[in-house]
A and B are shown apart, each in its own frame.
Chain A
Amino acid sequence: MRKMLLAALSRLLQGPAAAGRTGAVSEASRVVVASRNYGDFASEATFEIKQCDLHRLEEGPGTTAVMTREEGLHYYKSMQTIRRMELKSDQLYKQKIIRGFCHLYDGQEACCVGIEAAIKPTDHVITAYRAHGFTFTRGVPVREILAELTGRKGGCAKGKGGSMHMYTKNFYGGNGIVGAQVPLGAGIALACKYYDKNEICVALYGDGAANQIFETYNMAALWKLPCIFVCENNRYGMGTSVERAAASTDYYKRGYFIPGLRVDGMDILCVREAVKFAAEYCRSGKGPLVMELQTYRYHGHSMSDPGISYRTREEIQEVRSKSDPITLLKDRMVNNNLASVEELKEIDVAVRKEIEEAAQFATTDPEPPLEELGHHIFFNEPPFEVRGPNQWIKYKSVS
């Protein structure tokens, strides 16, 4: 702010001939008109990332990552969109426009954007109920996500799924029952192996679910399925901290005979490199991998959980100020001359506008008509009738 004022002041003093970017009042900048000059940015930069803890692996992902300017801007925009979308959902929920259950993903954006950056669109992803971020990264536009939350026709599941049940191509949801999606992920991986198209499956679950999925580890390891099991460890399973729920909180080791990686889930480059490593490992036919992403959620478990009865506000504030994924990325980009603060601010403004429009759509779109209540129960050629709450109501089931 002060730099901008200083620049404006110096511009004023130097006269109309001088104009330049914030903070750089120099001879060179005098010839620059007040617009972004792409030539002033680096095209890519190399970053140091934390080393991952390894389990049964000789070597892991490297400690450096290269990020281009385009990639950085793309990650920034994605993460910011998800952040703003979740905050908007919070707002809509408090206004009772969204009902039911709503599990928000803010704080964990680096996980989904990082995973998406490292896999191909033809790979498969399945996760639990904290799914809005993945729905976005897998290609569903924000307006369809918000419309699904508000239960309207324009939602990605036609308004019948809600917060926990969002799907799209190669994204199998969105699953309400804790841990139930992990064997499904192994099954998808089996299909990938069977079809032999060099695809993998990323099956995500949380620290709460990590205590009941051992059958899946066994099958995946036995049949060498190309499945990356990702535990998004946000330290709390609903209200229970990991120390009180698990005999071993080294979730990356819980696969025991399956090799594992522990990754800093707040650093998008760390996530990306680790998933790239894991994807290659699986694609080469070596079998499954377990990955633990250490991350954090700012909101409570769901909208009915204030999130402060089992953790302190100070803890949340600390994570927000020291490890926020968006801030980390922003600092990296600005400090390494990949983007300017204004440019990122412009992205923020554009994202806000997009979310507002999406929210507008989500609140004004009509709800699915009552006739569709019975649709899609079974797959049936001739439509059949479904009994309603009493003998005089019948719904037609078309599929």
Chain B
Amino acid sequence: MAAMAAAGRALRAALPAGLWGRLAPLPGAPRRTAAHFAFQPDPAPREYGQTQKMNLFQSITSALDNALAKDPTAVVFGEDVAFGGVFRCTVGLRDKYGKDRVFNTPLCEQGIVGFGIGIAVTGATAIAEIQFADYIFPAFDQIVNEAAKYRYRSGDLFNCGSLTIRAPWGCVGHGALYHSQSPEAFFAHCPGIKIVIPRSPLQAKGLLLSCIEDKNPCIFFEPKILYRAAVEQVPVEPYNIPLSQAEVLQTGNDVTMVAWGTQVHVIKEVAAMAQEKLGVSCEVIDLRTILPWDTETICKSVAKTGRLLISHEAPLTGGFASEISSTVQEQSNSGLIVVPVFSTVSLLTAW
């Protein structure tokens, strides 16, 4: 609720003096019962063949299943993945592909990622799972100092491009300090890796398959609150969604709203409410890939609307919104109109 009100207030401040009533749930806007947002599924795609109803963790399992089937060198490992994983993302894979391809590691994140880099350097495909994004920090050195810089420092002789690290990410309501973090900003500071965050099962499967096939080490953050809550029709066959391409979910003329992961659904609701209540047309963009991010789409959109609102779950200071807003401001200084930019953060993430 706080996020909605905040985003709404931001809209009000962004717009010229206009009619403004109290923000209240409206008949046309999607209704929400308990969570701070309502997941809005995308329509079933027709171009990828038969689809099946899946939630987020099932779509991840499907993606991993496709990857293990297609690539005989692919291995999936992490803490507790053998029985299916603490979020059931790897259910059934060990039985299907064998214990030398889907296996548990002992409790050691630095070991997991280091080990994964080693596998990837030999050319095999490594899909590592870090149990929660909050635990990725012991592996931070391995990711930033080893994985990201391997290709560069060896002059392209070696690389660990076939490494993909998956981790549950983001607020879940009861996670507190160590089950709720969104560390994408820490990694965004590092060239050489790619960071991808899906908003839905359909996006997740396509993006994860792209990450696995991408020849750069990728970190794939999965919004844990969506594991069960997000249900969509997802194609059974493998398909790819291109990385580093933001998606414009809804076109508009008055303000550009950018988010990723769970927040996309929040801003979609806000956009609907703004349209009904204020007659404001919002352009809603899902960034999808945090690094390298799609500067062109965002800047083009802001050039059209003149206003930008970015919403993310991580703390504001040094959060990725500051990177987006400073890049957009640079562009605007070079010729576009001056853009008021607002960033908001979901729930009660201060700082």
Contact = CB atoms under 8 A, between A and B. Distances in A.
A240 interface: yes
B342 A245 contact: no
A49 interface: no
Contacts of B177: 165, 176
B350 interface: yes
A171 to B, nearest CB: 19
B175 A390 contact: no
Interface in B125-143: 134-135, 138
Contact of B345 (A176, A377, A389): A389
B27 interface: no
B345 A390 contact: yes
Contacts of B333: none
A176 B80 contact: no
Scoring B7, B108, B176, B351 by chain A CB atoms within 10 A of each residue's CB, the highest score goes to B176
Interface string B197-231: 00000000000000000000000000000000000
B307 to A, nearest CB: 14
A390 B348 contact: no
Contacts of A99: 174
A101 interface: yes
A164 B345 CA distance: 26
B107 interface: yes
B29 interface: no
A390 B10 contact: yes
A211 B351 CA distance: 35
Interface residues of A, number: 34
16 contacts: A101-B174, A101-B176, A176-B178, A212-B108, A239-B80, A240-B80, A373-B350, A386-B350, A387-B317, A389-B345, A389-B347, A389-B348, A390-B10, A390-B344, A392-B9, A395-B350
Interface in A242-266: 244-246
Interface residue tally on B, bucketed by range: 35 or more
B9 A390 contact: yes
B80 A238 contact: yes
B348 A388 contact: yes
B319 to A, nearest CB: 10
Interface in A350-394: 373-374, 377, 386-393
Interface string B327-351: 0000000000000001011111111
Given A212-B111, A390-B10, A240 B317 contact: no
Contact of A179 (B10, B107, B178, B345): B107
A205 to B, nearest CB: 11
Given A101-B176, A212-B108, A389 B346 contact: yes
Nearest to A246: B106
B110 interface: yes
B69 interface: no
A178 B111 CA distance: 14
B2 interface: yes
